[in-house]
Amino acid sequence: MRYIDIFAGCGGLSVGLQNAGWQGIFAIEKNKDAFSTLKYNLIDHGHHFQWPDWLDVKEHDIKKFLDENEDKLRELEGQVDLVAGGPPCQGFSLAGKRDLSDSRNKLVKQYIRFVKLVKPRALIFENVHGFTVHFQSQKGRISQYSSYVINKLEDLGYRTDSKVVDVSEYGVPQKRRRFILVAMLNANPSEVFAHLESNKSNFCREKGIKQSTTIQDAIGDLEEANGTCQSPDTKRFQAGFYGRAESGYQRLMRQGLQNHQGAVDSHRFVNHSATVIQLHRDLLDNAPRGKRITPDDGYVENLKRRGVTVLDANSQAPTITSIPDELVHYEEPRILTVREQARIQSFPDWFEFKGKYTSGGKLRKKEVPRYTQVGNAVPPLFAEQVGRALMEVMNG
């Protein structure tokens, strides 16, 4: 069963599909840093993609790629079982500005164009919940991008079904609601959602994890108290070691590591100032756990962030985003590391992240550093379950 991943990011969806038994053909991702992470893990070391000779193994802009390779893509018709992926979500997110004119929203049309050329047997499209919510423009027009995509796919002969799914019900330790659209040429997409729902408890049991995984289940073995050393990839920073694995989820995330020694990949601690450390201590002492608070709530003084959540060790995290200082560790006076956020997103620990850790200012619109790569990804553990359900339905 062969698939193409478009708008692939750092490869979260592909990791899940790989674990479900799918074979990648190639992946399209515009950003250099995100693609370098995907390339390192799934091409250079994982050998997951059967990359075609006519396509350079590098980052590609989807529109330019389509303009230059229409004939090659038409030749793939009948050879591709699945096209996976969804356009960047920032323009649709309810947590953002929801600008109808955001140029990233127009990438939906490139998605449809890609599908029209390749004509895969099936599609899996993932995006934020806001993808289903109407835009109200200044001219009074109303746009709902999910309806646009569904109508276009049905015009191409696909049967479609869609749901808003919370991945916290599938073993992933975060409350993350996502719009999932399945489209199929010769099968009923509703059966995919039925398989996904009926299989989730057995899947978690097979993996040795709880269906409702807590924060402590996920990252309890990554505390700074385990000790630190010089960060292997950044000067003047400290990185952390593993503690003892205390949960099935921690053991699952560590699978695939060969005789690991030293610092955990991307487990670099932020160099907080004394003032910020004190702020985090005040938050740990006074703020409610698991609830997003703002400066106006008055729990602590000197809170200048738009919003912050002190994690509840015995519950799930809120949605992991690209802004790391929105979450404070449940016990230590600090924000999370990239590896801790990756754990909450269900990336296995063998998956190494490349590029900068963070960006600021105007660079945020151009760069996709490690925290952003993690926040933008599809949780691999959920993607694996979707991949299994698709395969079951498509194989009858």
Q: What pLDDT does residue 11 have?
A: 97
Kindly list the structural domains of the chain, giving each domain's residue range(s) and its CATH number in brackets, ordered by start. Answer: 2-210+378-394 (3.40.50.150), 271-336 (no CATH)
Q: What is d(CA 318, CA 316) in angstroms, rounded to the nearest whole number?
A: 7
Q: What pLDDT does residue 108 have?
A: 86
Phi, psi of 138 (to 5 degrees): -65, -25
Q: What pLDDT does residue 86 have?
A: 83
Q: What pLDDT does residue 47 have?
A: 86
**pLDDT digits over 202-235, tens only?**
999 999 999 999 999 999 999 999 999 999 999 9
Q: 362 falls in which pLDDT band (50, 70, 90)?
A: confident
Q: What pLDDT does residue 143 have?
A: 60
Asked if 264 contacts 239 with a C-beta cutoff of 8 angstroms, the reply is yes
More confident residue, 215 or 130: 215
pTM of the model: 0.92
Q: 102 falls in which pLDDT band (50, 70, 90)?
A: very low
**pLDDT digits over 134-180, tens only?**
445 555 555 667 888 889 999 999 999 999 999 999 999 999 999 89
**Quick one: 190 exposed, middle or buried, by C-beta within 10 A (0-12, 13-18, 19+)?**
middle
Q: What is d(CA 163, CA 183) in angstroms, rounded to the nearest whole number?
A: 12
Quick check: 306 pLDDT over 50?
A: yes
Q: What pLDDT does residue 106 have?
A: 75
Dihedral of alpha carbons 143, 145, 151, 156, sign = positive
Least confident of 212-221, 297-306, 344-353, 361-370: 361-370
Work out the average pLDDT over 31-37: 96
Quick check: 93 pLDDT over 60?
A: no
Mean pLDDT of the chain: 91
DSSP class of 335: B
Q: What pLDDT does residue 132 have?
A: 59
3-state SS, one letter per residue, for 182-231: EEECCCCHHHHHHHHHHHHHHHHHHHCCCCCCCHHHHHHHHCHHHCEEEC
Q: What pLDDT does residue 136 have?
A: 52
**pLDDT digits over 310-339, tens only?**
999 999 999 999 899 999 999 999 999 999
Q: What pLDDT does residue 100 have?
A: 47
Segments in the chain forming alpha helices (H): 12-19, 32-39, 62-75, 107-118, 145-155, 189-207, 215-219, 248-254, 274-286, 338-344, 370-376, 380-394
Q: 359 falls in which pLDDT band (50, 70, 90)?
A: confident
**What is the number of H-type helices and E-type strands within the chain?**
12, 13
- Where does residue 208 fall: left (phi above 0), alpha (psi -120 to 50 degrees), or beta otherwise? left
Give me 79's structure tokens: 């050879």
One-character DSSP codes across 250-271? HHHHHTT--S--SSPTT-BPP-
Quick check: 133 pLDDT over 70?
A: no
Instruction: Return the active site residues.
Output: 89
Q: What pLDDT does residue 34 have?
A: 96
Closest CA to 177 of 320, 348, 11: 320
Q: 261 falls in which pLDDT band (50, 70, 90)?
A: confident
Quick check: 369 pLDDT over 50?
A: yes
Query: Greatest CA span in the chain, whole angstroms?
Result: 62
Q: What is d(CA 116, CA 110) in angstroms, rounded to the nearest whole number?
A: 10
**pLDDT digits over 191-202, tens only?**
999 999 999 999
Quick check: 91 pLDDT over 70?
A: no
Give me 105's structure tokens: 């929203």
One-character DSSP codes across 89-114? -TTT-TTS---TT-GGGGHHHHHHHH
Q: What pLDDT does residue 207 have?
A: 98
CA 27 vs CA 2, 11, 65, 85, 348: distances in Å:
12, 9, 11, 10, 20
